[in-house]
Amino acid sequence: MPGLTPPDRFCSATFRTFEPRSASQADALDAARRFVEAYRRVPSLTERVGRWLGWGPSRPEGLYLLGPAGTGKTHLLAAMYHALTPEVPCAFLHSSTLFRQTKPPDAFARQLAESYAVCCLDEVEIDDPANEMRLVQWMKTLSDEGVALLGTSNVDPERSLVTHVSGGRVHRFLQTAFRDRYRIVIVEGDDFRRTDAVERTGHVWVGPPARTRPLLERARAEASGPARRWSFDELRRASTETAHADLIDTLTAVDHLFIEDVALSGTDDALRLLRVIDALYLHEDAPALYITAARPPGDWFAPDARAGVAQAVAEKFSRTVSRLHALCHVHLVEDEAPAGEPSAR
């Protein structure tokens, strides 16, 4: 199965290039290294016989990196992938790849098991009961097939929606078997993407349209190379009428992308924009991004005052906001400015 490799942004991620900024990040780096060492270690004859007989230590089943956005989880996941391959065949996929599969999750898991010894699953998303049940079935089948799982997520599996609507096998797996099979490592710290260490090429101007639009127009006039300018309504319509892969091809065919007046009206808008920003963040040749909005990105679809699926989507959208901060400088545009000269800070 071709293409199951880390995204462009993490194609060269290693343990050496990971810089811990908190004690838990240092612990996570150590746990990731130890997993690779334990998995790659060649067992003695006695250990191999013991494993065959069902006693003694076996290879680790998996590692689950859990924490907020921007703390380096995907970097560590990609670093484990690169440390294991090519000696250990590994697959790297985003959870959306799993959820888009047309074949049953157990069949997809067995197909992976035919070619891979380790699966790296990035950004385990827990916001839809049907997808969660597919995820659990996929994970259980991988485990039954002897495939180790390395995962990242912003959400503890015990907070999944299905734990509130199911008292059966899915519930038991998430509450008990999950922690028995996979070591959960907390990765905390400040959002690295919001620090000055990140090189940004784009801009988000926040404020009244009368102040922000001239700034976007000036940036458009000064931009060299292919550019595209869309209102948010036009982007919303394109994301509805165009296949996602084709839309991203269109957006990444330019050097500069201008999106005017971003304002989300509901969960559907949040998911559409989330998919676009996430794809641009992970793309090797993403254009410089310029956006105007009346409110700061963190307020576009905040979890406050939301519940159920909408709250889960809002929590997931917080990761997109983090990634947007890695792509763009965010400027709060002053309400008042000298005539003919909009200002930002």
What are 277-336's pLDDT values in tens digits? 999 999 988 999 999 999 999 999 987 767 777 877 888 899 999 999 999 999 999 765
Is residue 203 within 8 Å of 291, Cβ to Cβ?
A: yes
Confidence class for position 164, pLDDT limits 50, 70, 90 = very low
In whole numbers, what is the pLDDT of the chain averaged over residues? 86
Domain 8-186 fold = Rossmann fold (3.40.50)
> What band does 340 get if pLDDT is binned at 50, 70 and 90?
very low
Token digits for 211? 């102040």
Q: Which amino acid is at 186?
A: I
Q: Boundaries of CATH 3.40.50.300 in the chain?
A: 8-186, 194-332
Mean pLDDT of all residues in 28-55: 75
Mean pLDDT of all residues in 145-173: 66
Closest C-alpha to 324, from 74, 92, 69: 69
Class of domain 194-332: alpha beta
